Amino acid sequence: MRELIDIEAAHPELITPDSPTQRVGGEPSDAFKPVRHRTKMLSLANAFSFGELTAFFNRISSELGTEKVEMVCELKIDGVAVALTYEHGIYTGAATRGDGEVGEDITANVKTIQSLPLRLFLGSPPDILEVRGEAYLSKEQFKQINEEREEDGQPLFANPRNAAAGSLRQLDPKVTSRRHLGLFVYALGYATGIEFPDQWGLLQYLKTAGFKINPHITKVGTLKEAYSFCEEWQEKRHSLPFEIDGVVIKVNSFAQQKKLGLTSKAPRWAIAYKFPAEQKTTRLIDIELNVGRTGAVTPTAVLEPVVVAGSTVGRATLHNEDEIKRKDIRIGDTVIVQKAGDVIPEIVAPIVSKRDGSEKEFVMPHECPACGGEVVRPEGEAVARCVNINCPAVIFEHIIHFASRGAMDIEGLGESAARQLLDKGIIKDVADIYYLDKEKLLGIEHFADKAADNLYNAIKRSKERPLAKLLFALGIRHVGSHVAEVLAGNFESVEKLSHATPEELIEIQEVGPKIAESIIEFFHENRNRSVVEKLRQAGVKMEQEKPGGAGLSARSFAGMTFVFTGALTLFTRGEAEGLVKSMGGKASSSVSKKTDYVVVGENPGSKYDKAKSLGVKIITEDDFKRLVSG
DNA sequence: GCACCTCGAGTTCA
DNA sequence: CTCGAGGTGC
């Protein structure tokens, strides 16, 4: 490997990027760097029954105004979604799905996949082509890898998908190469200068271009045919050399797809029919209670450990008291367990016939399991909560939330550190975090010189987090990350927000009476006010600078007109237009000279061209988001 | 008033 | 991923 790179460095002209000797190599330093997808990588809505499939079909046919909807059925390979980029027909990059917007760079590892074309068989390839597909391991390879791992005493992979994911996360592409991953492509992420009539046509094009597409695809014209395909493969799945977990059904015509549109999570023109999950039975030994940061008391089932879908399950959430009643789950029951989405364990139902009478019904206690305080379940609500504002469990969870990544992002302040700081009485609330010095930090177990330094610096850095993060971190009920962003877009400081009236708050898009009340109540509470004051004293930034100069003011779009075009991914169209209105601007549907900004989403239409010809400012959705949130 | 989306909050295991 | 709940549009 070293030598290969050295040769390349010495004689770059001798090596073309698609040379067969170049499967293993690349820039290790780029590995796993974040990569922004050109268009969001969505997931799919699921159907678990014929009924749900029917509901999907009814919805699309009513929205399209016809029962005649041609659909494409494809097997749903149980692997890892990847995005592949080709520039002028040459493979230049690959990324994982990540959160859909930003994935990780796995260019070097994907390059080792033998069936990946390094150069496309196209006369005039598009300047940029991004295709999406599934990297997977055959059942055979999976077995072999696990056998080797067993011999080496390494932990086994639970299933081919985990093994495939693990293989793509290798720092050394040579390891990935030895795993012999397969690859099927099935979708277009982005392409310059080409258009297709439908999914079927796209698949044929991808095949011609040199990609592997899964051979088991079919075009159908009715719901019944689609369902037959699902049933057929549910039966035959075991005869395939790779694992599948369902069938994907897509509306074939791209014109119809466009008409149906997207939600922020998934296209509305496709659905994944999922085969029934693997189920096991085990005994429910006990029901434990957890107290969350809002005081919510959540019952969790403690199970006799059992292997389900490749991993051992020992606990499963039961959500709330009603859920337990509805399913009639009792302590001591034999229960059926499965994994929702193959990840989160779930109790499906008890096996009533196995009862011997010793089972006990669950009763939500009136006393908090953590502090003994009162547990109250308000009329009409599902969740029971500990109402003691001094409950140590609530305070602990609150601190964890405050320091978490989406909030103040204090690296090093995890469960163990928080627990010790609280137990030793060094901190009592989140504001005390900012009064810690190195000496106090050294008192924490496992915190030597360096760790204490790191944490101290992380705390210092967190004082500069944007207003939205701080508002989220405060833990105001009903104010999650999203609402916090909205609030930060409407108020320039904590101070201003704390003086807002209910009327002012309800004016804001996406803030209704409940959220307004919760905010008012939060700032009414003395203890909260003093925490905020302590944070301010410590130097935590409580306001945000307005974007200055010629740019827009984050507070006001007064007199400005916005037009949205293309599919938005960060907001729904309604939200985006609502935000503009709530900030005093106008959202219009057609572009004119008077339009101030055209915000382009995915696959922008003619409005984009018009804006260009009129010289109207064109901004991306990200730019728009920054404008809105300051 | 209802249906539909989102969001919030809690959660599992490796 | 789940459920429950808040907000919005018809």
Q: Which residues contact A179 (CB under 8 A, 6 or more apart)?
A: A137, A141, A145, A163, A164, A167
**Strand C closer than 7 Å to the CB of A323?**
yes
For the domain A280-376, what is the CATH code? Answer: 2.40.50.140
Backbone angles phi, psi at A73, to 5 degrees: -105, 130
| Nucleotides in chain C near protein beta carbons (<7 Å) | 1-9
The answer to whether A625 is a known catalytic residue is no
CA of A72 to C1' of B8 (A): 36
pLDDT at A399: 93
| Nucleotides in chain B near protein beta carbons (<7 Å) | 4-14
| Nearest alpha carbon to residue A306 among A333, A284, A277 | A284
**Strand B closer than 7 Å to the CB of A481?**
yes
pLDDT at A538: 95
Sign of the Cα torsion A163, A168, A174, A178 reads positive
Is the model's pLDDT at A69 over the cut of 80? yes
pLDDT at A544: 82
pLDDT at A607: 64
**CATH (one of 3.40.50.970, 2.170.130.10, 3.30.470.30, 3.90.380.10) for A17-274:** 3.30.470.30
Question: Which residues in chain A, range 292-321, keep a C-beta under 7 Å from any nucleic strand C atom?
Answer: 319-320
pLDDT at A568: 64
**Strand B closer than 7 Å to the CB of A628?**
no
| Nearest alpha carbon to residue A176 among A82, A309, A311 | A82
CA of A344 to C1' of B13 (A): 9
**Sorting pLDDT into bands at 50, 70 and 90, what band is A213?**
very high
Average pLDDT for residues A596-618, to the nearest whole number?
67
Is the model's pLDDT at A379 over the cut of 90? no
Q: Which residues contact A504 (CB under 8 A, 6 or more apart)?
A: none
Topology alike, domains A392-462 and A467-537: yes
CA distance A161 to A157: 9
CA of A625 to C1' of B14 (A): 36
Average pLDDT for residues A219-225, to the nearest whole number?
94
Q: Which two structure tokens, joined as six digits, stand for A153?
A: 């005493």
Is the model's pLDDT at A438 over the cut of 90? no
CA distance A243 to A161: 8
Average pLDDT for residues A300-322, to the nearest whole number?
87
CA dihedral in degrees (A120, A125, A128, A134; nearest 10)? Answer: -30
Question: So where are chain A's domains?
Answer: 17-274, 280-376, 392-462, 467-537, 549-629
Is the model's pLDDT at A552 over the cut of 70? no
* Residue carrying the six token digits 């989160």: A344
Is the model's pLDDT at A548 over the cut of 60? no
CA distance A16 to A321: 64
pLDDT at A526: 92
pLDDT at A590: 62
**Strand B closer than 7 Å to the CB of A119?**
no
How many percent of chain A have pLDDT more than 90? 38
Average pLDDT, chain A: 83
**CATH (one of 3.40.50.620, 3.40.50.300, 1.10.150.20, 1.50.10.100) for A467-537:** 1.10.150.20
Neighbours of A616 (CB within 10 A): 20
Highest mean pLDDT among A111-115, A169-173, A257-261, A408-412: A111-115
- Which nucleotide is closest, CA of A266 to its C1'? B5
**Strand B closer than 7 Å to the CB of A280?**
no
**CATH (one of 2.40.50.140, 3.30.1490.190, 3.40.50.10190, 3.40.50.10490) for A549-629:** 3.40.50.10190
Is the model's pLDDT at A628 over the cut of 80? no
Cα–Cα distance list, A309 to A160, A245, A339 (Å): 11, 12, 7
Which homologous superfamily does the CATH classification assign to the domain defined by A392-462?
5' to 3' exonuclease, C-terminal subdomain (1.10.150.20)
CA distance A297 to A324: 14
Per-residue pLDDT reduced to its tens digit, A192-204 = 989 999 999 999 9
